[in-house]
């Protein structure tokens, strides 16, 4: 199989194992599939519940993209199958429940036709000789009992026997209805409802699992509350029990007398032929009704161009679905465009939010880029990155190809159930299930998140990737440099400001000096500090007329007030709580170095930086709760299940102490290699 991953790197890349198509920059994606080797199928030919669910959303997504409206896309449904029509028995399933007794009766007491066949029988049993029986007798002396002058005395002869033959159209119809029509339809429906049941179980578990904020977001995305989720879950379980009972009865019919006699004979037709028996016999009429209800769509010949368009639309639908999730995530984070528009090729959208401005761009290949504080994060939709029949080694090999072809911070968004990537080993599953930089290899900057219209938690997984792309650069840009229009602040001026009594007594330092030639602002000024600063600047302005060093820095002194005001406006958004958007006061910043720590007085969320004990890098974090709950939930993807998008850096997997974070720079947490991390899956992989 051949292919390239131009969408990942933006330039020709290595072939991805398991792909049978050529990837190209542009919206066509995998449009010109190469013929698959003998015995292998193209990945585009694979079907799944997730792809079918995506197809159910395609029309609404197309309309939203056509409208070009941000609000329209934000309100477009992104879940499929989560409605009462799915939870309840379908009409044809209720008909099957009613008519199944008639089908079972036919399978044991079926009509036949009177058939004839020629067979060799002892003379005493011959009632009607077969045509040309005498010619055969003359040619086969072994069938003679003796000879007389009148001729041979026959011992056996060819005779015509009559029998009841079940091989008629109506019985073939019933046998085909039992299997594969009914057995396949029920199996598919049971599998689909099982996915919905599992998702509703996730919603139900959210009452006792994960943070309060995550729980509220999940229910808001689903559209209902916990009580309705419990009711829907019970309804789905009841429907599943009914369908599983019907499937078991259909399975028993596959061993019935009629089905065994038919030996897999088929009608050769996809639509029902109305015969007198089907119209007039009560039981066969019921079977005919079931055939009509469950009959398959007629096979339509598909030209290469039609197939190309179909596959193109499938990939575009997934691209639109990913864009919808990103828009929903940004909206939940409080980021909105000034104009009601969505990004398109060459037309990025600037969004304003609690922590400043970000830019969302979408190129012609539907790759999304979020720009925040000078950092770009790319979101690459890959519809067929992973399928249900992929082996672990195939998944691992394909991921390595994607990783090698990626440039910069990249999040691969692929269509799959949440447990799909867990078939590989934990170390390899880490980057395939979470946007957090948890992998031991500190050179990897590519992560992946599975999404599906059948899973409510898809939004939380992708929303964490969006939050990391938006909020981590904002925290990394702290403290804010104070810069003049003429360039950096002269050292003499920095010395004077740091020694002047600008900071109010009892508060943390206002300025941070990372080196002799740079001055940063740690927090907005209080009213008293603004008065103090004005007094200091006024004194400097007055001294510009003297013979001191001040007269050489007239322009710099004149622009200093505006520069500090600009820096103050830039650092102020970081005082907004990322959970409830409550604005903290500048007096609530306790530290004195280049790290930030703010605790929300409304919801008790804390955010800012921790210092890595290994490499001394700053670790941006958001902490909605002091203690990470549900220690029984662990393994790859656990952070999204407990904290969701509220976690920037990942808490240590061991959870043996108050929250400790994995450093996104060196990928080490404080308990790595210690007895506290001995039982941690991730830490044990590092030893």
> What's the pLDDT tens digit per position in 387-415?
777 887 888 888 888 888 888 899 999 99
Q: What is the pLDDT of residue 676?
A: 64
Please report, rounded to a whole number, the percentage of residues in the chain having pLDDT higher than 70.
89
Do 358 and 474 meet the contact criterion of CB atoms below 8 Å apart? no
Query: Are 469 and 377 contacting, i.e. CB atoms less than 8 angstroms apart?
Result: yes
Q: Is the pTM of this model over 0.95?
A: no
List Cβ neighbours of 238 (8 Å cut-off, separation of 6 or more): none
Within 10 angstroms of residue 130's Cβ, the number of other Cβ atoms is: 19
Looking at residues 250-261, what average pLDDT do you find? 95
Tell me the average pLDDT across 519-537: 94
Crossing angle (nearest 10°) for helices 554-571 and 527-543: 170
CA-atom Rg of the chain in angstroms: 36
Q: Cβ of 504: how many Cβ atoms within 10 Å? A: 17
The Cα–Cα gap between 658 and 213 comes to 20
Is the pLDDT reported for residue 687 higher than 60?
Answer: no
Q: What is the pLDDT of residue 678?
A: 63
The pLDDT value given to residue 638: 87
Give the per-residue pLDDT at 228: 81
The pLDDT assigned to 25 comes to 28
CA–CA gap between residue 389 and residue 182 (Å, rounded)? 24
| Residues belonging to the chain | 687
pLDDT, greater one: 106 or 224: 106
What is the rounded CA–CA span in Å between residue 189 and residue 406? 38
18 Cβ contact partners less than 8 Å away, ≥ 6 residues apart: 1, 43, 390, 394, 397, 398
Which whole-number Å values give the CA distances from 342 to 62, 135, 346, 372, in the listed order? 13, 88, 12, 17
pLDDT given for residue 513 in this prediction: 94
| In the predicted structure, residue 32 carries a pLDDT above the cut 60 | no
CA-nearest of 112, 99, 100, 102 to 261 is 112
C-beta of residue 101 within 8 angstroms of C-beta of residue 299: no
Q: What is the C-alpha to C-alpha distance for residues 279 and 170, in angstroms, rounded to an integer?
A: 11
pLDDT at 210: 83
Which tens digit of pLDDT belongs to each residue from 186-200? 999 999 899 888 888
Task: For residue 44, name the pLDDT band (cuts at 50, 70, 90).
Answer: low
Buried b (16+ CB within 10 A) or exposed e, 34-48: eeeeeeeebbbeeeb
Q: Which of the four pLDDT bands, split at 50, 70 and 90, describes residue 58?
A: very high
**What's the mean pLDDT in 418-428?**
70
pLDDT tens by residue, 455-484: 998 999 999 999 999 999 999 999 999 999
What is the average per-residue pLDDT within 41-56? 80
Please tell me what DSSP assigns to residue 19. -
Rounded distance, CA 483 to CA 56, Å?
53
């Amino acid at each position: 199989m051949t292919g390239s991953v131009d969408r990942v790197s933006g330039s020709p890349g290595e072939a991805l194992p398991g792909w049978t198509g050529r990837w190209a920059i542009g919206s066509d994606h995998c449009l010109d599939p190469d013929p698959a080797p003998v015995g292998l199928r193209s990945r585009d030919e694979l079907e799944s519940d997730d792809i079918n669910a995506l197809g159910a959303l395609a029309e609404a997504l197309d309309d939203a993209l056509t409208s070009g409206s941000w609000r329209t896309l934000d309100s477009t449904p992104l879940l499929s199958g989560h409605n009462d029509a799915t939870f309840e028995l379908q009409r044809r399933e209720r008909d099957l429940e009613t008519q199944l007794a008639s089908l079972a009766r036919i399978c044991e007491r079926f009509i036949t036709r009177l058939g004839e066949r020629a067979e060799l029988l002892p003379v005493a049993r011959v009632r009607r000789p077969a045509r040309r029986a005498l010619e055969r007798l003359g040619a086969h002396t072994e069938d003679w009992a003796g000879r007389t002058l009148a001729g041979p005395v026959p011992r056996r002869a060819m005779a015509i026997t009559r029998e009841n033959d079940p091989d008629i159209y109506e019985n073939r119809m019933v046998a085909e209805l039992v299997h594969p029509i009914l057995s396949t339809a029920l199996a598919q429906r049971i599998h689909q409802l099982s996915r919905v049941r599992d998702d509703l179980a996730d919603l139900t578990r959210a009452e006792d699992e994960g943070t309060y904020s995550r729980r509220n977001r999940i229910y808001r995305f689903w559209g209902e509350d916990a009580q309705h989720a419990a009711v829907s879950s019970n309804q789905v379980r009841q429907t599943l029990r009914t369908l599983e009972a019907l499937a078991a009865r259909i399975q028993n019919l596959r061993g019935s007398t009629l089905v065994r006699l038919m030996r897999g004979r088929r009608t050769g037709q996809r639509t029902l032929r109305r015969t007198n028996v089907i119209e007039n016999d009560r039981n066969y009429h019921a079977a005919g009704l079931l055939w009509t209800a469950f009959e398959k769509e007629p096979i339509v010949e598909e030209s290469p161009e039609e197939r190309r368009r179909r596959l193109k639309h499938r990939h575009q639908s997934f691209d639109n679905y990913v864009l919808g999730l990103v828009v929903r995530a940004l909206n939940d984070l409080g980021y909105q465009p000034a104009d009601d528009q969505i990004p398109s090729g060459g037309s990025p959208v600037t969004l304003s939010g609690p922590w400043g401005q970000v830019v969302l761009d979408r190129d012609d290949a539907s790759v999304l880029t979020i720009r925040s504080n000078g950092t770009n994060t790319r979101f690459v939709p890959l519809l067929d990155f992973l399928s249900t029949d992929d082996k672990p080694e195939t998944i691992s090999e394909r991921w390595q190809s994607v990783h090698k072809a990626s440039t910069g911070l990249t999040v691969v968004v692929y269509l799959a159930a949440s447990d799909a990537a867990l078939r590989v080993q934990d170390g390899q599953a880490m980057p395939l299930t979470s946007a957090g930089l948890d992998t031991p290899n500190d050179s990897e900057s590519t992560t992946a998140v599975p999404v599906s219209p059948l899973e409510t938690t898809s939004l939380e997984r992708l929303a964490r990737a969006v939050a990391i792309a938006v909020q981590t650069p904002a925290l990394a840009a702290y403290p804010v440099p104070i810069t003049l229009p003429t360039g950096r602040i002269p050292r003499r001026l920095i010395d004077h400001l740091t020694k002047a009594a600008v900071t109010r007594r009892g508060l943390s330092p206002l300025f941070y000096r990372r080196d002799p030639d740079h001055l940063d602002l740690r927090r907005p000024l209080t009213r008293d500090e603004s008065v103090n600063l004005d007094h200091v600047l006024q004194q400097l302005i007055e001294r510009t007329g003297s013979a001191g060093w001040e007269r050489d820095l007239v322009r710099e002194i004149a622009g200093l007030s505006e520069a500090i005001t600009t820096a103050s406006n830039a650092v102020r958004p970081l005082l907004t709580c990322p959970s409830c958007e409550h604005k903290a006061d500048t007096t609530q910043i306790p530290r004195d170095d280049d790290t930030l720590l703010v605790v929300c007085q409304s919801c008790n969320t804390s955010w800012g930086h921790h210092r890595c004990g290994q490499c001394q890098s700053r670790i941006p974090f958001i902490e909605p709760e002091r203690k990470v709950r549900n220690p029984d939930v662990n393994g790859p993807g656990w952070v999204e299940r407990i904290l969701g998008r509220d976690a920037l850096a990942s808490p240590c997997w061991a959870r043996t102490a108050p929250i400790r974070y994995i450093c996104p720079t060196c990928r080490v947490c404080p308990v790595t290699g210690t007895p506290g991390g001995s039982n941690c899956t991730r830490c044990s992989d590092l030893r």
